[in-house]
Chain A
Amino acid sequence: MNNNSSGRTLLKDIMLRRYLRLGESHTLHEVMGFLIDKHFEKDGLPFLVVIGTEGEFVGMLEAKAVLAALLEGVQEDPDAEKSLLQSAPVNLNKTVGHIMNRNIPSLPPEATLDEAFRCIRNSNTEAITVIDNGRVVGIISARILFEQASTLTVGALTGGVIPPAQG
């Protein structure tokens, strides 16, 4: 699993390089243009990394934030549908910069797995960004970390065979 001889997996070996980059000034209307594309239907929503004008990392746009922003000001039933359509022009014109999450933890590409586990445990996000010289070079998602954890534990200890329950 690890790609170097020291027996340590580094984040750069496992990070996800496939994610979308957005600018802070993109509107939700534009973002929705991306997200409803059928290309993302197969693999699910991509991670949305927000970068500044110099290409530097600023934050991440989470799907929940997009959904929450589009429902802002929408009344409860029975007029919900009408209200949704009425609020749409205002909500769709909101910019990424207003609704994104700026508190995304980050680690360098040379960081090790245990650092990533500690980092995700202490944060409240689905992903850690891997930053090199201020730029995002990859993403470590909870899924990637889980896959590493399962390989290092059930995979390594039992060869992948489910072990008998104890106690």
Chain B
Amino acid sequence: MAGFGTAGMEISAQSFKALPSNLIERGFNYGKSDLRHDAMAGLTVAVMGVPQAMAYALIAGLPPVYGLYTSIVACIVAALSGSSNHLVTGPTNALCMVILSLTAHLPTKYGVSLIEIVFLLTLMTGLIQMAFGFLKMGGIVRYVSNSVVVGFTAGAGILIAINQLKNVLGVKLEVHAERFHEVFMATIAMIPEANLRAVGIGVLTIAVVIVLKKISGKLPGALIAVIAAGLLSFAMGWHNPELGSGKVEIVRDIQPITGTLNRLHLPELVAHPNYELTRELGAGALALALLGLIEAASIARAVASSSGQRLNFTREFIGQGAGNVVGSFFSCFAGSGSFTRTAVCYQSGGRTRMAAVFSAVWTALTVLLLADLANFIPKASLAGLLIVIAYSMIEKERLKLTWRSGANSRLVLGGTLASTLILPLEYAIFVGVFLSIVLLLRVTGSTDLTQLVQAPDSGFEEIPFNRAAPSEVVTVNMEGDLYFAAVEDLDYELVRCLTPKTRVVVLRMKRLRAVGSTAMAILAHYYELLSSRGIYLVVCGIEEQLIKVMTGSGLRQQIGEQNIFYADNKLFQSTELALARAWSIVEMERRREKPVAEIPRQATALPNADTVMTRKCVRFGNQHQLREAVWLMSQMYRRIKSFTARPLFLQDMEGRLAGELQTRTILSEMAGHLPPDKLPDDESVGSHLAKSFSKPISQMAETQLPVVSSSGNLLEIIRTSVRSTSCVVAVCDEEKRILGIIDEGQMIRALGKVLNLHDTTGESQNGNPEIEEVGNE
């Protein structure tokens, strides 16, 4: 479930803004072909979804018409305001089971009708889901592991099947639906009183669905099965009330579908709040919200992985929440993304979210036009359909896979499944999440230490902790979690890598997570331990979160800014800098022991320009315009890594050095056209910068250049450089043809050599001394 967005508590203004603009954008791009595909996909979804919706309402203990209502309003709102292009929202089996578990016992306790309680629960669920969305808590679904979802779904499937047995048997039970053993025992006890007609209808439905699925996966098995069952019951007159207890209960007997659509209805419990009831529903609404979001997110992600759509989970959460909130005012119960309907929508060619909207429209037409026929569908038939669906919820392959994924997965899977069958359903989810987190902490509750040794090709080699050869600089790589459970004795553990030779410890903390105050105290103690031994500490790979904690704890000030290197995108970049710093500390210490005056300095001949210079540099004709120079220079920078901005050398027709174009000169020229006021965007900055593009470069180039001959010695080079504003000195022959260039870094290194300042340890002297440059005539 990883990667479901970012966890954070910041309310997102963008989430608000994103909705209308996206809709408008899509509106403009929506073509006839899209419409045809979406309408057909919507129809396919509706054909499969109508019997499903009615059956799911039955799971929740509600009249089937509310399942249809949920498939209309909640589906449209969630489709239009969510992120996925294919997610079809509406009643789902697991959610309906939780609704039943949460609400079944409440009407007698509070004297309020069940459906009104469900509307309130739906509203609360939607509000919680929207809050998750606006607080950018997309990451919360990460804490619900795959094992929890598999275990819960299988448990819910078992519960649904066992609860529908009574409807197939045509009997009534007065037990708590979520108590598996009670329902099971009561159902067994009622077998002798079974209504054989209902059993026949149920078995027929099950058989038709299974057989049709075997014949072709594309046939709407559920629809054909319930129609067949309805026709049989109608033809035989089994729905006739005169049969008494032997009659087959049909949809009309539960609550007739009247051929009217959802109307705006203010839930009674919103108009007249019952705080006690609302409080009692709180935990359940949270569980329902979480379960709904997990379902929707995992289904949307599964489809997106095929369609290639990039999902925004924050927006998906808001969409799901909005569907439920609006739905609660239009006689809907809490819904979520349906796996089967979403898959059918995608597979039958749905292109945009309009496919889901069309499925709702077709469902609405069914309600309006075929209500009378739908009323004759036998309850036992819907129950039979549910038993088939419930069986498919027990995903044998995923169960096997999860079971084989180790003891932790087994424990979470088993724990969740068992609690689904024993506890009220909402608690089963919490139990699963709790188990996942506890086990996660057990696994991750450690910090891995390794040592890094710089290999001769200037790469890094990772070796087990405390196995590196003694060296002045010890580099320790810390990985994993650094929170209170993991840091015990870490300071003493870290001390183990020290040898009498150690002068500096470099701690790489790049892949460290969850750094808390306890960890900071431990690190501060480690710093003290090192200081007491006269050893320096340099830290690197420091990420933004860690900077904050280090600043707050005062450790940043203690270690000193010059010893802290912040994480960069390039692998080991900050480690390289930290190592350079570490070796220079070692070097400084060595020099401190040996005063500057005592360093032996033999009179060696000063190097000449031709031994210091780089031969390759970029030359360019001086007859061009600025735009060409900018293009050429940008190409040059792609291949040169230096931090400083190299100039472009200009030459005349005879190839003689005619001038130098410095980056700053180009920038000044281009920026000269910027207005004094702030510009609205980058594009307008670009258009102002380009205004001077046609200016000849000969008019802006520096012609009085710092130039030395190839025989000029280092002091001449440096003096020339100091007098000029350029960061390089050109080396020319007698005819002023450019032979090469010398930059300030080369001058400093050459001077260091003359002054005998070079590091002779050899430890930090890796890498190729050649600076790559582009040769362009």
A residues engaging B (CB < 8 A)? 1-2, 5-9, 16-23, 29-30, 32-47, 51, 54-55, 63-64, 66-68, 70-71, 74, 77, 80-82, 84-85, 88-89, 92-93, 112-115, 117-118, 120-121, 126, 141-143, 145-147, 149-157, 160, 162-163, 165-167
**A residues in contact with B562, CB < 8 Å:** 20-23, 51
**Would you give 23 A-B contacts (Cβ < 8 Å), ordered by A?**
A17-B566, A30-B584, A30-B591, A33-B591, A35-B752, A36-B758, A37-B764, A63-B747, A63-B748, A66-B748, A67-B748, A70-B718, A74-B715, A88-B596, A92-B755, A113-B682, A117-B674, A120-B667, A120-B671, A126-B664, A146-B666, A149-B630, A166-B625
A167 to B637, CA, bound (A): 28
Residue B768 is within 8 A (CB to CB) of chain A in the complex: yes
Give the residue name and chain of the B residue nearest to A2 (CB): B682
**A residues in contact with B601, CB < 8 Å:** 85, 88
Most buried by B among A9, A47, A55, A66: A55
B604 to chain A, nearest CB (A): 8
Chain B residues with a Cβ closer than 8 Å to the other chain, count:
91
Contact residues of B between 229 and 246, Cβ < 8 Å to A: none
Of B79-87, B391-399, B572-580, the stretch lying at the interface with chain A is B572-580
B597 touches A44 (CB 8 A): no
With A18-B568, A29-B591, A162-B631: A126-B678 Cβ-Cβ less than 8 Å: no
Give the residue name and chain of the A residue nearest to B751 (CB): A70
With A30-B584, A145-B667, A146-B663: A117-B685 Cβ-Cβ less than 8 Å: yes
A108 to chain B, nearest CB (A): 13
Known: A7-B683, A44-B771. 5 other contacts (CB 8 A): A32-B748, A38-B765, A63-B745, A71-B719, A82-B603
A39 to B743, CA, bound (A): 16
A34 touches B584 (CB 8 A): yes
Pick from A5, A33, A145, A165: contact of B624, CB below 8 A.
A165
- Which DSSP category, helix, strand, loop or mixed, fits chain B's interface? helix
Residue B488 is within 8 A (CB to CB) of chain A in the complex: no
B722 touches A41 (CB 8 A): no
Q: Give the total number of A-B pairs whose CB atoms are below 8 A apart.
A: 269
Give the residue name and chain of the A residue nearest to B585 (CB): A33
Most buried by A among B556, B606, B666, B671: B671
A93 touches B722 (CB 8 A): no
**A residues in contact with B759, CB < 8 Å:** 33, 36-38
B25 to chain A, nearest CB (A): 14
Contact residues of B between 659 and 675, Cβ < 8 Å to A: 663-664, 666-668, 670-672, 674
B757 touches A32 (CB 8 A): yes
Residue B302 is within 8 A (CB to CB) of chain A in the complex: no
B residues engaging A (CB < 8 A)? 14, 556-557, 561-562, 566, 568, 573-574, 576-577, 579-581, 583-584, 587-588, 591, 596-597, 601, 603, 605-606, 624-625, 627-628, 630-634, 637, 641-645, 663-664, 666-668, 670-672, 674, 676, 678-683, 685-686, 688-690, 693-694, 713, 715, 718-719, 721-722, 727, 743-745, 747-749, 751-755, 757-759, 764-769, 771
A46 touches B643 (CB 8 A): yes
Pick from A5, A29, A47, A115: contact of B596, CB below 8 A.
A29
A139 to B217, CA, bound (A): 62
B664 touches A67 (CB 8 A): no
A66 to B757, CA, bound (A): 14
A33 touches B587 (CB 8 A): yes
A165 touches B674 (CB 8 A): no
A71 to B573, CA, bound (A): 33
A9 to B557, CA, bound (A): 31
**A residues in contact with B754, CB < 8 Å:** 81, 84-85
A54 to B63, CA, bound (A): 71
With A118-B671, A152-B682, A155-B634: A141-B644 Cβ-Cβ less than 8 Å: yes
B681 touches A41 (CB 8 A): no
Pick from A18, A20, A85, A163: contact of B603, CB below 8 A.
A85
**B residues in contact with A118, CB < 8 Å:** 671, 674, 676
Pick from A85, A117, A126: contact of B689, CB below 8 A.
A117
**A residues in contact with B605, CB < 8 Å:** 81
**B residues in contact with A126, CB < 8 Å:** 644-645, 664, 727
* Pairs A-B, 6 closest by C-beta atoms: A152-B686, A44-B642, A150-B634, A36-B752, A7-B681, A63-B744
Pick from A39, A85, A112: contact of B579, CB below 8 A.
A39
**B residues in contact with A55, CB < 8 Å:** 556-557, 561
A85 to B754, CA, bound (A): 8
**B residues in contact with A81, CB < 8 Å:** 603, 605-606, 715, 754
B361 to chain A, nearest CB (A): 33
A38 touches B743 (CB 8 A): no
A153 touches B722 (CB 8 A): no
B747 touches A67 (CB 8 A): yes
A149 touches B644 (CB 8 A): no
B689 touches A146 (CB 8 A): no
A64 to B674, CA, bound (A): 30
**B residues in contact with A5, CB < 8 Å:** 14
A38 touches B630 (CB 8 A): no
Pick from A37, A44, A112: contact of B641, CB below 8 A.
A44
With A142-B664, A156-B683, A157-B686: A47-B643 Cβ-Cβ less than 8 Å: yes
A64 touches B764 (CB 8 A): no
A36 to B758, CA, bound (A): 7
B665 to chain A, nearest CB (A): 10
A138 to B718, CA, bound (A): 29
A23 to B722, CA, bound (A): 24
A71 to chain B, nearest CB (A): 6
**B residues in contact with A41, CB < 8 Å:** 745, 749, 767-769, 771
A142 to B645, CA, bound (A): 6
Give the residue name and chain of the B residue nearest to A158 (CB): B631
A17 touches B568 (CB 8 A): yes
With A17-B568, A37-B584: A154-B627 Cβ-Cβ less than 8 Å: yes
B74 to chain A, nearest CB (A): 30
B667 touches A33 (CB 8 A): no
Give the residue name and chain of the B residue nearest to A136 (CB): B561
A117 touches B667 (CB 8 A): yes
**B residues in contact with A150, CB < 8 Å:** 630-631, 633-634
A131 to B718, CA, bound (A): 32
**B residues in contact with A33, CB < 8 Å:** 584, 587-588, 591, 757, 759
**A residues in contact with B751, CB < 8 Å:** 32, 67, 70
Pick from B14, B686, B744, B752: contact of A64, CB below 8 A.
B744
A142 to B573, CA, bound (A): 22
B749 touches A36 (CB 8 A): yes
Give the residue name and chain of the A residue nearest to B691 (CB): A153
A80 to B607, CA, bound (A): 13
**B residues in contact with A77, CB < 8 Å:** 715
Give the residue name and chain of the A residue nearest to B564 (CB): A21
A149 touches B767 (CB 8 A): no
Pick from B597, B606, B645, B722: contact of A80, CB below 8 A.
B606
B764 touches A44 (CB 8 A): no
A146 touches B637 (CB 8 A): yes
Pick from B14, B596, B637: contact of A92, CB below 8 A.
B596
**B residues in contact with A43, CB < 8 Å:** 641-643
A114 to chain B, nearest CB (A): 5
With A43-B643, A64-B721, A88-B755: A7-B682 Cβ-Cβ less than 8 Å: yes
A112 touches B678 (CB 8 A): yes
B752 touches A141 (CB 8 A): no
Most buried by B among A112, A114, A145, A166: A114
A47 to B643, CA, bound (A): 8
